[in-house]
Amino acid sequence: MPVATGLNEGVRDSRVGSSEGLHKLKAARWGSTGKRRMLLGRAAALGWLLFCWSQASPVNRTLAAANGWFQGVSIPRVTVEDLSLPGNEDLLRGARPFVLTNGMRGFEALSDLDEDWMDRMFGTSTADLFENSIGSPEEKQFLVPLSKAIESLRKAHAGDKAEYTMLRMNYEQTAVVRQLLSPSFPELFDSSWWMRRCLPSADSRNNAFLIAAWSMLVLGNDRAGMFLHYDSLNTGTWQMQISGVKTWIVCDPSGREWFYEPGDVFAFDPDLGEFPRFDTALRLFCAEVEVRPGETLFYPSNWWHATFNEGWPTIGLVGRTITRWNFQPAYAALKQKCQNPGEDISKKWKGESCWG
Ligand SMILES: O=C(O)CCC(=O)C(=O)O
């Protein structure tokens, strides 16, 4: 198969490799003293490696391996070029999640796009500030100018408290970010084909972008993250990692009955006493993947996902996508949203009065 090895496959391989190594160590146990010393040294090194590996993620990897989690779904790491290779048709049409390893051309932009850049470019735009991260759907956001949200995150970071902010960008702001990053994205991530036809004016595109949260910059600090949920509107979603490391748990919606309700279970350290069905979710329907700067995760419509940030600042660029394969359910969801716009939360949670 021409697909590059996915992280989960890699993890599985290294587990196999480790146990094989231990097996060989056991078999050689009765050899000479020199050999024994060498083997003990190797065992210590292996132990140290296993320890580092188990600490390298918010998920307890020893527990994950013991419980057989993340075996049912794999998330391949591929290049833009890999997507066109025979055998990768399901990735190309967005039917499976994957990590794109070379989705941007100008990697120097990764260091340019930091929280200072966001402040300079979009500081007066309204952002959603989640002062207690986003651990559940009940977490309320304050609507504040982005510069205030960044100030709050800086303080939270200094005080070792997890916070998150999300900036919904309009069409023009998105173009500014994309110009800086100069992504070389596949057609799958590109919605301009239908936008040019359906939303011909700049105003209508800007409005649609903001209402549907079509494009966002997300900024968090260490241990901030979002509860397990799926996105509205039946669109596919991609997120490019700009800085920091984001660990994702991504779950196939066909395992819905094992997921409980959005936000019920902390997917990275589930309480299986309270939520026993979640063990099946993690074994058969979910994958864990770590996404690093310059990499882009794609997941199809309605796939569930939870996130966990490491590093300050942890920044991602998020985009939704409609393809020729998901446009009918996405169209139905957008039409439904237009016909039932819901309440205007900017009137309910006036962050400006606290932050102004
Ligand atoms: O970036 C994150 O941490 C969460 C983003 C997310 O889950 C979403 O956009 O639906």
Query: Which atom number of ligand 1 is nearest to the Cα of residue 231?
Result: 10
**Token pair listed for 279:** 């063990």
* 318 ligand 1 Cβ < 6 A: yes
* 226 ligand 1 Cβ < 6 A: yes
Give pTM, 2 decimals. 0.82
* 133 ligand 1 Cβ < 6 A: no
**Per-residue pLDDT averaged across 37-66, rounded?**
67
Q: Are 253 and 302 in contact (CB under 8 A)?
A: yes
pLDDT of the residue at 301: 95
pLDDT of the residue at 348: 58
Burial state string for 280-293 with b = 16 or more CB within 10 A and e = fewer than 16: ebbbbbbbbbbbeb
Count the alpha carbons within 13 Å of 345 in the hemisphere toward its beta carbon: 11
CB-based burial label for 199 (10 Å; 0-12, 13-18, 19+): middle
pLDDT in tens, 140-162: 899 999 999 999 999 999 998 99
The answer on pLDDT for 53 being more than 90 is no
* 351 ligand 1 Cβ < 6 A: no
pLDDT in tens, 79-135: 999 999 999 999 999 999 999 999 887 778 888 999 999 999 999 999 999 999 999
Q: Hey, is 287 helix, strand or coil?
A: strand
Cα 350–Cα 353–Cα 356 angle in degrees, nearest 5: 120
DSSP codes, 137-182: TTPPPEEEEHHHHHHHHHHHHHTT---EEEEE--HHHHHHHHHHH-
Query: Which atom number of ligand 1 is nearest to the Cα of residue 246?
Result: 3
DSSP codes, 127-147: EEEEEEEESSTTPPPEEEEHH
Mean pLDDT of the chain: 83
Pocket test for ligand 1, best of 314, 318, 320 (most atoms within 8 A of CB): 318
Q: Tell me the H-state helices in 182-237.
A: 192-198, 202-211
The answer on pLDDT for 46 being more than 80 is no
pLDDT band at 64 (very low <50, low <70, confident <90, very high): very high
* 316 ligand 1 Cβ < 6 A: yes
270 vs 276: CA distance, rounded Å: 9
Residue nearest ligand 1's atom 1 by CA: 218
Q: Are 110 and 177 in contact (CB under 8 A)?
A: no
CA 198 – ligand 1 centroid, Å: 26
pLDDT of the residue at 16: 24
* 319 ligand 1 Cβ < 6 A: no
C-alpha distances (whole Å) from 114 to each of 32, 48, 150, 241, 274 are 57, 34, 11, 12, 40
pLDDT of the residue at 56: 53
**Per-residue pLDDT averaged across 159-182, rounded?**
94
pLDDT of the residue at 126: 95
pLDDT of the residue at 3: 25
Q: How much of the chain, in percent, has pLDDT values that exceed 70?
A: 80
Lowest mean pLDDT: which of 9-13, 184-188, 210-214?
Answer: 9-13
pLDDT band at 327 (very low <50, low <70, confident <90, very high): confident
**Token pair listed for 60:** 């307890």
pLDDT of the residue at 193: 77
More confident residue, 325 or 315: 315
**Per-residue pLDDT averaged across 321-335, rounded?**
86
215 vs 222: CA distance, rounded Å: 23
pLDDT in tens, 337-346: 888 777 665 5
Residues 6+ apart with CB under 8 A from 48: none
213: left (phi over 0), alpha (psi -120 to 50) or beta: left
115 vs 127: CA distance, rounded Å: 13
pLDDT of the residue at 154: 97
CA 110 – ligand 1 centroid, Å: 19
* 218 ligand 1 Cβ < 6 A: yes
Nearest to 317 by CA among 199, 181, 191, 198: 181
Query: Which atom number of ligand 1 is nearest to the Cα of residue 306?
Result: 7
Residues 6+ apart with CB under 8 A from 30: none
pLDDT of the residue at 117: 97
CA 18 – ligand 1 centroid, Å: 34
pLDDT in tens, 278-309: 999 999 999 999 999 999 999 999 999 999 99
pLDDT in tens, 4-38: 222 222 222 222 222 232 222 222 222 334 555 55
CA 239 – ligand 1 centroid, Å: 8
CA 40 – ligand 1 centroid, Å: 45
CA 226 – ligand 1 centroid, Å: 6
* 305 ligand 1 Cβ < 6 A: yes
pLDDT band at 49 (very low <50, low <70, confident <90, very high): low
Q: Where are the beta strands (DSSP E) in 252-295?
A: 286-291
